Amino acid sequence: MTRPALPVVLIGPMAAGKSHVAQHLAEHYGLPHVDTDRVIESRYGPIPRLFRARGEAEFRRIEAQVVAELLDDPDTVGCVISLGGGAPMSPLVQPLLAGHTVAYLEVDLDTVRPRIKGNTTRPMLQPDPEARWSQIMAERRETFERLATIRLDGAAPRTVAQIARELYLALGEPIAQPRGKEHTA
């Protein structure tokens, strides 16, 4: 099996669990994690405020700039880079992903419902988070599928640990014991 190139870019809809899967890979398999939303927030403040103040078009421009920087940074070569749910829809981001390993975390409304129900912090999900999530997902599904070089089943009842292990194995890494777990024969 040929090992896919790192960094691996983790994509999927809002509330899919991309950051949690990437964090698990970092903690248990030693693959460092960078989250584009956290980078943006460290530079510009909370995303909802940035979104309101500058609008979606400017937010997407900033997001594409961060993605480009991370993909070009030699320090992120061995990383898992998780993108915000809308980033792969941007015509500025899509060409940046070409030639990279892109893992799509597939989820459904039943899986994300507990994560988004009553949410008021995600501007794209207002005013009805469940209805908006379903609409956005229907619009974005084809793009996620087209960009993906690896597809991961993230639907409940699968756990973050199971999904992270699936991605780790898909990357062609040798099977290793998760960090922090000592096993004896």
| pLDDT one-digit tens code per residue, 92-112 | 999 999 999 999 999 999 999
For 5, the token pair is 């190139």
Question: DSSP letters of 80-95?
Answer: EEEPPTTGGG-TTTHH
Residue 172: per-residue pLDDT: 84
- pLDDT-flagged residues of the chain (< 50): 1-2, 174-185
Closest CA to 58 of 141, 49, 132: 49
Residue 63: per-residue pLDDT: 97
Phi, psi angles (nearest 5°) of residue 153:
-80, 110
Rounded Cα–Cα distance for residues 22 and 169 (Å) = 14
Rounded Cα–Cα distance for residues 163 and 169 (Å) = 10
Residue 1: per-residue pLDDT: 45
**Longest CA span, the chain:** 58
Residue 5: per-residue pLDDT: 59
Residue 183: per-residue pLDDT: 31
